[in-house]
Structures are given as C-alpha cells and as structure tokens.
Amino acid sequence: MMYAGIDAGSRAIKVVLIGDNGSDVTGKGQTDQGVEQDLLANRLFEQVLADSGVRRSEVRGVVATGYGRDAISFADTTITEITCHAVGVRHLVPTVMTVIDIGGQDSKLVRLDRDGKVRDFAMNDRCAAGTGRFLEVVADRLGLSLGDLGPRAARSRNPAVISSMCVVFAETEITGLLAAGRACEDIVAGVQTAIAARIVAMAGRNVEAPVIFTGGVARISGMETALQMALGQPVAISPDPQMTGALGAALLARRQCNSD
C-alpha cells in the first residue's frame, strides 16, 4: 500500500508518495500554485501516481497540509504545516532540535523535544518581510531571477543595511540605495541579512542545535550562511527542502492508517 502527502503552499503544490516501509519515497512532484487549487493538486497527484506506476486504489491514505490544505477535497484529513515539516525534517535528520521553515508567504521557527515532537513555535504570517515574497520583490526590482540572488550576494564585500521591516518600505529603501550607486550584490546580501535578522528576532531566545533550514527559500544559496551568521551557530539545509512538508504529511498518513 501507498500513502500520500499534499503540501498546498502559497507558491507551489507538492506531492510525495511513500510505501509501507515509510523510509523510501516512491514518487514526488510539484507544480505552481493557482486559483483552482483542488484541480491543480489532483492533476499533480495523478501525474505522480502515473510516473510511479501506482494505481490510485493502492493509496491507502492522503494527508493535506499547507496554506491551501482545506481546498484539497480528496485528502482524508488535514494537518498543519508546522507538524508536517517537523515530522518530515525529523525523518531526514533524526537529531534535529530546531526547524526553520521559510516559504513564500510565511516563516516559522519550530522547536522540537528529544522525541521529535513540537515543543513550541514562532510564526510570521502577517508581514512579507522574512519570507520568500521579500526576495521575489527584490529580484523583480533588480531585474534578476530568484536563482541569480545567491550568486550575486556571494560577490558582496559590503552588504547594504536594510533597516525597514516592511516590504513596502524596504522596496523604497532599495530604490534609494540604487540611486546612491550601491551595487546589486550588496543590496541582495543586505536583504538576506535582514531576513535572517527577522527570523532571529522571531525566535525570541536561544535556539537549540542542530538547526535545519527547510522550505522553498532554503534553495536560494546564501540564505543558510546569513542565518548562521545571525544565529551564531551552524545551520544545515534539509535534503530536498521544498518537499519536507509533503513528506511529513505522507508519513503522518501512514502513521494514522497503521494506528487504526
């Protein structure tokens, strides 16, 4: 039998399919988010099944998570992305104590106990500062792709100071920096530093290692370095960081079915 996790995030929908042993990923895929979330998720699910040679009747349980989880009509149940990311990252990195998840529209810092259960968390979902949306705005303003941001930041020797904690005001500040002749790489490095500072401020107190960085923003090079400098301790990127929420959802689907 198979189990599926659907992570309907703010920017992308991800699907992970696992088997009975719970350790190997049988199939996975992602697609851009859109208005018709249920239709998009269903199409992606069918594609992952087809690519994996799995019939829908073989899928015993489906758990949906993420921003649009309640829109996924074919899910058996929904579970918050905080729990799903914690379970997914813990499966990949059993020693993890702190999970930093930065997605398109929100960011989270999740503390785990020694058993891998969520102890507490802090979340920013009311402001785009500290999220992938901030990086999208910066890339657009500088005429760069998201993939360009990391290499540009790596060339900076004098990161700009971005003091505004609001994306709207920060964009105005960036315009002023460009007018003053600051290099793109210094601006991008400054933005990465500002996002990391926002995460540290959100944490509120000491962060216990090991710290694992996940979510779509973890795929942008340089962000883990900015977080390391802000936290003053190592930060490792989760394997396949954009898929950890869907993986956790699939693992929880298996767990629920086997406990019935």
Is it the case that residue 81 has pLDDT exceeding 70? yes
CATH topology assigned to domain 95-237: Nucleotidyltransferase; domain 5 (3.30.420)
Tell me the pLDDT tens digit for each residue of 14-54: 999 999 887 789 999 999 998 899 999 999 999 999 999 99
Task: Tell me the average pLDDT of the chain.
Answer: 92
Beta strand pairing call for 236-237 and 98-102 = unpaired
Q: Where are the domains of the chain?
A: 1-93+239-260, 95-237
In the prediction, which pLDDT does 202 show?
A: 84
The whole-number average pLDDT for the span 81-107 is 94
State which of 136-140, 176-180, 242-246, 256-260 shows the largest mean pLDDT: 242-246
Are the C-beta atoms of residues 110 and 96 closer than 8 Å to each other?
A: no
Cα separation, 158 vs 98, in Å, equals: 30
Tell me the pLDDT tens digit for each residue of 239-251: 999 999 999 999 9
Give the rounded percent of residues in the chain with a pLDDT score beyond 70.
Answer: 97
| Half-sphere exposure in the Cβ direction for 164 (13 Å, CA) | 15
Distance of CA 182 to the CA centre of its chain: 30
113-117, 127-131, 139-143, 149-153, range with the lowest pLDDT: 127-131
Is it the case that residue 168 has pLDDT exceeding 80? no
In the prediction, which pLDDT does 128 show?
A: 65
Cα separation, 47 vs 15, in Å, equals: 10
5-9, 26-30, 199-203, range with the lowest pLDDT: 199-203
Supply the pTM of this predicted model.
Answer: 0.92
Is it the case that residue 126 has pLDDT exceeding 80? no
Is it the case that residue 127 has pLDDT exceeding 90? no
In the prediction, which pLDDT does 34 show?
A: 87
In the prediction, which pLDDT does 131 show?
A: 80
In the prediction, which pLDDT does 97 show?
A: 97
Tell me the pLDDT tens digit for each residue of 208-228: 999 999 999 999 999 999 999
In the prediction, which pLDDT does 203 show?
A: 82
Judge if 1-93+239-260 and 95-237 fold alike in CATH terms. Answer: yes
In the prediction, which pLDDT does 165 show?
A: 67
Q: Which two tokens stand for residue 243?
A: 């898929």
Check residue 11 and report its DSSP letter: S
Instruction: Please determine, looking at this structure, whether the domain spanning 1-93+239-260 carries the CATH number 1.10.10.60.
Output: no
Tell which wins on pLDDT, 164 or 50. 50
